[in-house]
Chain A
């Protein structure tokens, strides 16, 4: 059972950016992120360790569990794709 309901997907995107900011230390850059901002391959700090840290923090913050077969390059392609992934997990 979810503790809260997201009314708009922009809330999820904002929370996702916060998590990315926390793990990667984006600073000012985070303020410029939109749903179409590319992630994997475009952010040098986003290495495999950071990918796992982001997933772990999302799991702990939102309360879902990510299975191995859900981990794909597509999920991490943009802020929007990651937010959509989180929303699908919450649905």
Chain B
């Protein structure tokens, strides 16, 4: 197996770090993939699954680029200085880089809130028309709410309990004040950008494959994803959605692997390629 290359690219907001996984020598190249990571702690928890999927894809002949967005991982900048728009700028840069380097428009594979960024990237004019979404976040507002909740929950753990509310925290952000949550310094620009983001179908049309993971005995597509499916199809997108059984690996305390997701994703890539 070829080890991934660590590389630095000059991005619009500073130096961006990325891992590039090439297919094994002699393997016919099927195309390129640009990965868009999940938000904050979910990015850390999904690293292993991302690495496993990257290997599976590259073994099948795909180039896979995994960037760290500004202010995260090994890329330049502090988390406190990041903005939602800045992250879309970073992705635009990485999208161009992998397209130029590999010679083909990448499939954009996004995890969780990364799906919101991927959607914004296409809306902005990126040429890719093939999307792979893992457990997509449909509402940036809800995702922000759940992130703010960490601070409320933190108050529960203390003697006397905290009485901060997510509504009060949101007001602080709207008033221009950054908030520290679970070790992350959240800037208003980042928070409010996330808050406004929705999984809305870009006008250009294309193909998207979504996979959710559920631990329920009878796994079923979530209601938000069912709604998204209808909206995207109405807007002219080919939208395939499925669910596999497994743990919520983006939020479990222990890092989990979901083999069923790796298999289902491999199949979805074959379908995306075929059309």
Contacts and interface: CB of A to CB of B under 8 A. Distances in A.
B155 to A, nearest CB: 8
B222 A73 contact: no
Given A22-B215, A68-B166, A51 B254 contact: no
B252 interface: yes
Contact of A73 (B156, B182, B251, B254): B156
Interface residues of B, number: 25
Interface string B32-62: 0000000001000000000000000000000
A24 interface: yes
B157 A47 contact: yes
B247 interface: yes
Interface in B145-167: 146, 149-150, 152-154, 156-157, 161, 165-167
Nearest to A63: B223
Contacts of A57: 215, 248, 251
Q: Taking chain A's interface residues, is the majority helix, strand, or loop, or is none over half, making it mixed?
A: helix
Contact of B251 (A48, A53, A71): A53
A48 B150 contact: yes
Contacts, number: 68
B156 A22 contact: no
B153 A71 contact: yes
Given A51-B153, A61-B216, A73 B252 contact: no
Interface string A70-91: 0111001000000000000000
A73 B252 CA distance: 21
Contact of B150 (A23, A24, A40, A52): A52
Contacts of A35: none
A45 B215 CA distance: 19
A56 B251 contact: yes
A56 to B, nearest CB: 6
B253 interface: yes
Contacts of A10: none
A49 interface: yes
Given A18-B215, A56-B146, A71-B153, A25 B41 contact: no
Given A47-B157, A52-B149, A68 B251 contact: no
Nearest to B222: A60
Contacts of B182: 48-49
Interface of B: 41, 146, 149-150, 152-154, 156-157, 161, 165-167, 182, 215-216, 222-223, 247-248, 251-254, 256
13 contacts: A25-B254, A25-B256, A45-B253, A47-B157, A48-B154, A51-B157, A57-B248, A60-B222, A63-B223, A68-B152, A71-B149, A71-B152, A76-B156
Interface of A: 18-19, 22-25, 40, 45, 47-53, 55-57, 60-61, 63, 68-69, 71-73, 76
